[in-house]
Amino acid sequence: MTEISIREVGPRDGLQNEDPVPADDKVRLLDALSLTGVRRIEAVSFVHPKAIPQMADAAEVWQRATKNPAVRYSALVPNSKGAERALAAGFTEIEVVVSASDTHNRRNVNRSTAESLDDIAGLIALLHDAGASAEVIISTSFGCPFEGDVDPARVAGIVDRVVADGADRVAFGDTTGMGTPRRVEEVVGLVRDRHPDLPLLLHFHNTRGTALANILTALRLGITEFDASVGGLGGCPYAPGATGNVATEEVVHMLHDMGYDTGIDLKALLEAARLAQGMVGRELPSGVLKAGPRLPF
Amino acid sequence: MTEISIREVGPRDGLQNEDPVPADDKVRLLDALSLTGVRRIEAVSFVHPKAIPQMADAAEVWQRATKNPAVRYSALVPNSKGAERALAAGFTEIEVVVSASDTHNRRNVNRSTAESLDDIAGLIALLHDAGASAEVIISTSFGCPFEGDVDPARVAGIVDRVVADGADRVAFGDTTGMGTPRRVEEVVGLVRDRHPDLPLLLHFHNTRGTALANILTALRLGITEFDASVGGLGGCPYAPGATGNVATEEVVHMLHDMGYDTGIDLKALLEAARLAQGMVGRELPSGVLKAGPRLPF
C-alpha cells in the first residue's frame, strides 16, 4: 500500500485566511489534529503581526500545543527575522516562499522573483547553520491571476536555483486555484524529469473544483506529498464564497477509497473539522464534512 | 481535438431537486441554455405531478421553449403513462430509470430491480414502436446509500439485460455522490470490456468533491459523454448544504483547459448559471461561477 504524506495546513494557512480566532482555539485545533494520525502539520507562521494579525500569537500557540512525537511540525517564515523567531520557538522544519510569477512576487513583497531568490539563498544557509531544514514553496506554480499561465520552464528554473542553493524540499502552491490536470502534467512532469529524487509537495486550492482531479493526476506522476486544510479552512482572499484550500477530509476520503495509506483516522479528522467549523462560525466547504463519508464508519 | 458530449440536465434534474420555480423561468433557462452551444439538454420529466410538483408543467414548458435544431433534447419518464405524455409532447429521445441497488429501487418504486427491468423491456418496445430512442439510466451505479458498493458484476448484468432488450444508450447515475476514481474504473472498465460500442454516459454528483476526478478517470477509459447541471443546480436530497450535480461550468472549464471540444461557450454558460442562481434565490455551488475562469475571457 503506497504511503501518502498529507501535510495538514489548517492551523496556519487555513486560520491565517480566516477572521482571527483566540489562541485557545488554535491550541485546541492543533491538539485535535495531532491525534488524527496525520504525519505532518504546518502549525504556525512567524510573520509581522501588523501584516497578518491572525498569527501574532504564533509563539504562544506553539508553546502551549501538545506535541505528538509521531508528527512532523513545520512553520512558515517570510524572512530572516521570522526564521530567527521560528528557530527560537524550536522549529526544525521551516518553509519559505517565493512566487513563480514576477508580478505576483512584486505585489506581495515588492521585490522581483530573482531578488527574492537571492534572499532565499541566505535564508537556507541561516536555517542549515541552525540545524533546521528548509523547504521552498513556489507559489503561483499553476497559474498567476496577473500573468496567467507561468511558463513551466520558469518554474523549473526556480527549482534548479533553490536546489542548487541547498533547499531540502520544494512545494508548488496553487495560490489562486488555477491548477488543472494539464497544468499539473506540464509543470510537475518537467520538474520530475530534472529532479527525480527531489521531495516535491503539491498544494492545491479547490477554487474551480479541480483539486482532487489535480491530485489524481499528480499521483499518476508519482507524487506522494500533498497539503490539505481541515474542513477546507482558509476561504479565498479575493472571491467571497469561493473555496480555498482543498479539504483534508476530501483528500483522505478519496485516497483511502483508492487504497492509499495516509495514516489518518477519517473519523477523528471529521471531529477536528467540526471543531474548526465551530471556531470560524461559518459552514466550511468540505463535502465529506457536510455529507459524511460514502460508506458508514 | 476529441469531442465531448455534455448533456445539460439543469432544467430537469436540477430544477426537479430545487423549490418549484414558475414555468416562465423554466422557459427562460431552457432558452438561455439552448444558445450556449451545448449539444444535448435534458429538458423536462413527465412524472406524476403529486409526486414531483416541480415538473407538473412539463408539457407547457416544453411547448413554449424555443428549440434549437443544433441541440438534442430529451425527457425522462418513470413509466408508460409518462412515456405516452413525452411522445405526445414530441420528444424522440427518452430516458427511463432503474436502480442497480435492489433496496434503493424498492424504496423508490416499491419494486425489485428485476421487476423494474421487466417494465423497462416493455417501455423500450413502446418507445421504439413510436419511433423514439430509449436510454436506460442505471442509478446508484457507483454506490448505494443503503447497500454500499453495488457489485460491478451486478451493474454489468443490468447493462447486459437492457442492451438485450434494445436500449439505445445506457447512463450510470452517481445518485448520492458515492462515485470515486476506483469505483469508476471498476464499473466502467467491466462494462466497457463487455460492450465496447455501447454509447455510455456518466452522471456524477460532486457531493464529496470527486466529480472532476471521476470524469478525468472516465476520460482515460474512453468515455466521452457526461451529464452536468448549470451552476450545479439540484442540491442534494438528503444533506442540506451538500452539493448535488456537478456544475456544467466546472466540467467545461476543465475539459477546455485539457484541449477537449464541448462546443460550449463558457461565457454564455456562465450567464445561464447566473440566471439559474437568480431563479432559485440561493448561491449555487459552482466554483467557476463564484470565482470566474482561471484565465480571463
List, for residues B93-129, the tens digit of each pLDDT value: 999 999 999 999 999 999 999 999 999 999 999 999 9
Structural class in CATH, domain B95-228: alpha beta
- Compare CB distances from A287 to B181, B209, B283 and report the shortest one's residue: B209
Bridge partners of residue A74, in order along the sequence: A42
Which helix or strand (DSSP H or E) is residue B10 part of? none
Q: Within chain A, which residue ranges are assigned CATH 3.20.20.70? A: 1-75+260-297, 92-228
CA A100 to CA A280: how far, in whole Å?
A: 31
Q: Do B215 and A213 touch (CB under 8 A)?
A: yes
Of A203-207, A274-278, B51-55, B214-218, which gets the smallest average pLDDT? B51-55
DSSP A115-167: HHHHHHHHHHHHHHHTT-EEEEEEETTT-BTTTBSPPHHHHHHHHHHHHHTT-
pLDDT value of position A242: 58
Structural class in CATH, domain A1-75+260-297: alpha beta
Distance of CA A223 to the CA centre of its chain: 15
CATH level 2 (architecture), domain B1-91+240-297? Alpha-Beta Barrel (3.20)
Q: Under the phi-then-psi rule, with left for phi > 0, alpha for psi from -120 to 50, and beta for the rest, what region is A222?
A: left
- Sequence-distant (6+) residues with CB within 8 A of B80 are B122, B123, B126
Q: What is the ipTM of this complex?
A: 0.96
CA B71 to CA B40: how far, in whole Å?
A: 5
pLDDT value of position B241: 54
- Give the number of beta-carbon pairs within 8 Å between A and B: 129
Q: Do A239 and B293 touch (CB under 8 A)?
A: no
Angle between helix axes A211-220 and B211-220 (nearest 10 degrees) is 40
Q: Within chain B, which residue ranges are assigned CATH 3.20.20.70? A: 1-91+240-297, 95-228
CA B181 to CA A249: how far, in whole Å?
A: 16
Distance from CA of B180 to the nearest CA of A (A): 7
- Which are the catalytic amino acids of B? 236
Which helix or strand (DSSP H or E) is residue A44 part of? strand A40-45
pLDDT value of position B237: 47
Residue B238 has pLDDT above 50, yes or no: no
CA A210 to CA A78: how far, in whole Å?
A: 28
User: What is the grid cell recorded at B276?
Assistant: 439559474
Average pLDDT over residues B71-81: 97
- Compare CB distances from A180 to B206, B215, B254 and report the shortest one's residue: B254
- A246-285, pLDDT tens digit by residue? 999 999 999 999 999 999 999 999 999 999 999 999 889 9
pLDDT value of position B282: 87
Place of cell 423561468: B25
CATH level 2 (architecture), domain A92-228? Alpha-Beta Barrel (3.20)
Q: Do A283 and B257 touch (CB under 8 A)?
A: no
Average pLDDT over residues A95-113: 96
CB within 8 Å of chain A, chain B residues 202-261: 206-213, 215-217, 236, 239, 241-243, 246-247, 250, 253-254, 257-259
